[in-house]
């Protein structure tokens, strides 16, 4: 075994399950006689040599906590002045034999490139969006779906009492996974996702038909990345983060206004936002995160770098980082067809 010291970082948007992963990596590594150093605030921490040693005490009591004890950022070493050079240099300075990067498409995209440049890197997939290829699920997603489902349940009772349309805008950037799962689980009467451009006339027709059959309220779930036919996604701000991502938001209000005008049914809009990302991870996410963390250390023990741990069926496997990044995993249309049975 050549690995004696492992670094771990969390990059990109936080999500429930990061702390259980850090705990699992640390506990497994220490049990194998490997020391662990936490890199603070994603790639920024290795660029700036901002680290903390991780021991049994530092990961005690964090299993059920949301967020990340290591902090996170959307720093992209490839967009930083001499960023890659500094990462390579500090890898040596910190005497790292391996680095476990926990992140989504952006963080793991950088990880994949750094591996190609010779660094011993292993990836762990996380994101509430569930849009990473090569893995059936990422942790964070299940918790976000539960939060969104609970919100839809709550909106249901108020929608029903006031005979209103309730539009709920849900996160997920360019993939409608959270919207589709929470919409099915919450009995949504319409689910609008980025994968299927929205024909507003069809949505109105469907809701009117529903009202005609005696249902005088409706729940419309809208993914933040959904777009009206022939139009672009709606942006909250005209700015991009370091990975080039635009900040989405606002489609819920646009859809809500159009629905109210065209149907005459009173409409209210709720934007769930970051509550979907915060708070304690679900049991499913804690278990998945734990299994991913342990597997990542097992790969390091075998010097099997350039891999991302993944879930396939009920098995934890690995896939080359370069096949996992770059192509987003969008909603399975067979699942969306199931959701459609309950529209209107």
Q: What phi, psi does 225 have (nearest 5°)? A: -95, 5
CB 40 within 8 Å of CB 90: no
Site for ligand F6P in 64-83 (CB under 6 A): none
Give me the sign of the Cα torsion angle 131, 133, 138, 142: positive
Judged by CB, which is closer to ligand F6P: 54, or 144? 144
**Does residue 168 belong to the site contacting ligand F6P (CB under 6 A)?**
no
Instruction: Point out the catalytic residue in the list 14, 97, 105, 129.
Output: 129
Shortest separation between residue 26's beta carbon and ligand F6P, angstroms = 25
Query: For ligand F6P, which stretch binds (CB under 6 A), given 93-101, 169-177, 190-198, 284-292?
Result: 169-177
CB 5 within 8 Å of CB 35: yes
- Furthest-apart CA atoms within the chain: distance in Å: 70
| CA distance linking residue 255 with residue 252, whole number of Å | 5
Judged by CB, which is closer to ligand F6P: 14, or 97? 14
| CA distance linking residue 231 with residue 200, whole number of Å | 12
Shortest separation between residue 209's beta carbon and ligand F6P, angstroms = 32
Counting residues that bind ligand F6P (by CB under 6 A) gives 11
Whether 106 sits among the annotated catalytic residues: the reply is: no
**Does residue 10 belong to the site contacting ligand F6P (CB under 6 A)?**
no
Fill in the per-residue mask, 234 to 273: x = in contact with ligand F6P (CB under 6 A), - = not in contact: --------------x-------------------------
What single DSSP character describes residue 196?
S
Give the residues across from 36 on adjacent strands. 6, 54
**Does residue 277 belong to the site contacting ligand F6P (CB under 6 A)?**
yes
Residues 6+ apart with CB under 8 A from 55: 26, 30, 36
Of 258, 252, 264, 130, nearest in space to 203 by CA: 258
Judged by CB, which is closer to ligand F6P: 3, or 178? 178
Shortest separation between residue 231's beta carbon and ligand F6P, angstroms = 18
Query: For ligand F6P, which stretch binds (CB under 6 A), given 55-63, 121-129, 149-157, 288-296?
Result: 121-129
Q: Which of 77, 172, 176, 281 binds ligand F6P (CB under 6 A)?
A: 172
CB 49 within 8 Å of CB 90: yes
SS3 of residue 47 by DSSP: helix
Query: For ligand F6P, which stretch binds (CB under 6 A), given 3-11, 109-117, 166-174, 329-337?
Result: 166-174
- Closest residue to bound ligand F6P by CB: 171
Q: Which of 51, 72, 112, 127 binds ligand F6P (CB under 6 A)?
A: 127
First to last CA, the chain: 60
Site for ligand F6P in 202-241 (CB under 6 A): 224
Judged by CB, which is closer to ligand F6P: 241, or 260? 241
Judged by CB, which is closer to ligand F6P: 119, or 234? 234
CB 16 within 8 Å of CB 277: yes
Which structure tokens are listed for 145?
Answer: 């779906």
Give me the sign of the Cα torsion angle 37, 39, 40, 46: positive
**Does residue 173 belong to the site contacting ligand F6P (CB under 6 A)?**
yes
| CA distance linking residue 183 with residue 227, whole number of Å | 17
Q: How many CB atoms sit inside 10 A of residue 154's CB?
A: 14
**Does residue 105 belong to the site contacting ligand F6P (CB under 6 A)?**
no
User: Which positions are catalytic?
Assistant: 129
Binding site for ligand F6P (CB under 6 A): 13, 104, 127-129, 171-173, 224, 248, 277
């Amino acid at each position: 075994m050549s690995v004696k010291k492992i670094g771990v970082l969390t990059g990109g948007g936080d999500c429930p399950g990061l702390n259980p992963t850090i705990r699992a990596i640390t506990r497994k590594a220490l049990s194998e006689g490997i020391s662990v150093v936490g890199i603070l605030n994603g790639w920024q921490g290795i660029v700036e040599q901002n680290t903390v040693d991780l021991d049994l005490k530092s990961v005690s009591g964090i299993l059920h906590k949301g967020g990340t004890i290591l902090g996170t950022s959307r720093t992209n070493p490839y967009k930083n002045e001499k960023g890659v050079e500094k990462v390579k240099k500090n890898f040596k300075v910190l005497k790292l034999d391996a680095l476990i990067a926990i992140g989504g498409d952006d963080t793991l995209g950088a990880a994949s490139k750094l591996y190609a440049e010779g660094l011993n890197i292993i990836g762990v997939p996380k994101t509430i969006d569930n849009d990473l290829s090569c893995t059936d699920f990422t942790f964070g997603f299940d918790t976000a779906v539960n939060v969104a489902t609970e919100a839809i349940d709550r909106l249901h009772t108020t929608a029903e009492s006031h005979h209103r349309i309730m539009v709920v805008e849900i996160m997920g950037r360019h993939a409608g996974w959270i919207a589709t799962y929470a919409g099915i689980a919450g009995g949504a009467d319409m689910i609008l996702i980025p994968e299927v451009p929205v024909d507003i006339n069809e949505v109105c027709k469907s809701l009117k038909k529903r009202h005609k059959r005696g249902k005088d309220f409706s729940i419309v779930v809208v993914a933040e990345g959904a777009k009206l036919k022939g139009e672009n996604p709606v942006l909250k701000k005209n700015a991009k983060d370091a990975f080039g991502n635009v900040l989405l938001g606002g489609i819920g209000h646009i859809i809500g206004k159009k629905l109210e005008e065209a149907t005459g049914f009173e409409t209210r809009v709720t934007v769930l936002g970051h509550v979907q990302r915060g708070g304690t991870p679900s049991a499913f996410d804690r278990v998945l995160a734990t299994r991913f963390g342990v597997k990542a250390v097992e790969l390091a023990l075998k010097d099997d770098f350039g891999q991302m741990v993944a879930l396939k069926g009920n098995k934890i496997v690995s896939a080359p980082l370069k096949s996992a990044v770059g192509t987003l995993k969008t909603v399975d249309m067979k699942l969306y067809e199931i959701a459609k049975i309950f529209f209107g």
